[in-house]
Structure 1
Amino acid sequence: MDRNDDFREFVAAHQQSLMRTAYLLTGDPHQAEDLLQTVLLKVLGRWNRLTRLERPEAYARKALVNQHISWRRRRVRNELPTAEPPDRPYASEDPLLVRLVMRQALMRLAPRQRAVIVLRFYEDRTERETAELLNCSIGTVKSQTHYALARLRDLAPDLAPKLAGLEPEEANR
């Protein structure tokens, strides 16, 4: 059995638990995959020395933590907070960019407001259907829609023209 076979067995035996640790560290499945891949490459580079250890998985787990901390430090250093947001976060009509900006704004809404917007405008539900699904009154759906659209306009001012007219036309639905 060569060095790579030993390493493959190690990965097969411990990949799920290491991935779970990486996910718990990052909170994001894609970042967790990147973190685990980076660490496994480092472990492979030191595999000859690590095979002498009783628990190479403990080394890999510690490497996950250290690499995650290193990434967080680097990311914090590269981000420069500003007192004022840019005048225009984007100046494009690219549909993908519009969807991304809308999704980010939606994620910043309160859960009930987000649910109302998704049900009313993404799933094209009536106020009555939305009220039934959320177990609330139609008046609550109307007010939550009003406040959510106002909040979306504040969060993503460039999307305001796309949001204009939704409330009055949709209110009679």
Structure 2
Amino acid sequence: MTTLHDDAVQALRGWTVSDADQAQLRLDYLAHLAEQPEGLWRSCLPAHITASALVVDPAAGRVLLTLHPKVGIWLQMGGHCEPGDRTLAEAALREATEESGIAGLRLLTVDGRPVPVKLDRHQVRCTGKDQPENTHLDVQYIALAPAGAEEMISEESLDLRWFAYDSLPELTDVSVRDLVALGEKLTA
């Protein structure tokens, strides 16, 4: 049986990279996993792999973002891997489903398998605001919402809203804007 660690390595190695920056991030992620057998767990410091998914409703030309309570900006759904996750894609889909409240989400696939669309390395304080920052090595997917999907806010979010691709809120960073542009392109 393949472990989550093995799946992460396979997912990253099998992913077709879009540019030189993403290629370097992939090499950095793979080096992290080679050096850290526990590199997918929150307890692995100063860095660990996370999984996220941008929820897209292609028919309506919109994306669902969450106002994150710890960082105060609008983000895609995502978070830490958990022991029950068998694959990174499964972790991303679980997070998207939990945080959006939408049943029936499915990940964008290539040749029948879910693949990452983007990598993003960022600093966070997931161990507590009085603790040093650590690094999330985020593997990002696209989750397709069923037509007419209705969100339901969870305890992990201050707010949850749909936004048109070209009408994102001011409180989004360049990484989220790039992910939304990619999501629009890949689901057109």
Q: How would you bin the TM-score normalised by the shorter chain? A: under 0.3
- TM (norm. structure 2) is 0.22
Higher helix share: 1
TM superposition score normalised by structure 1:
0.23
Larger radius of gyration: 1
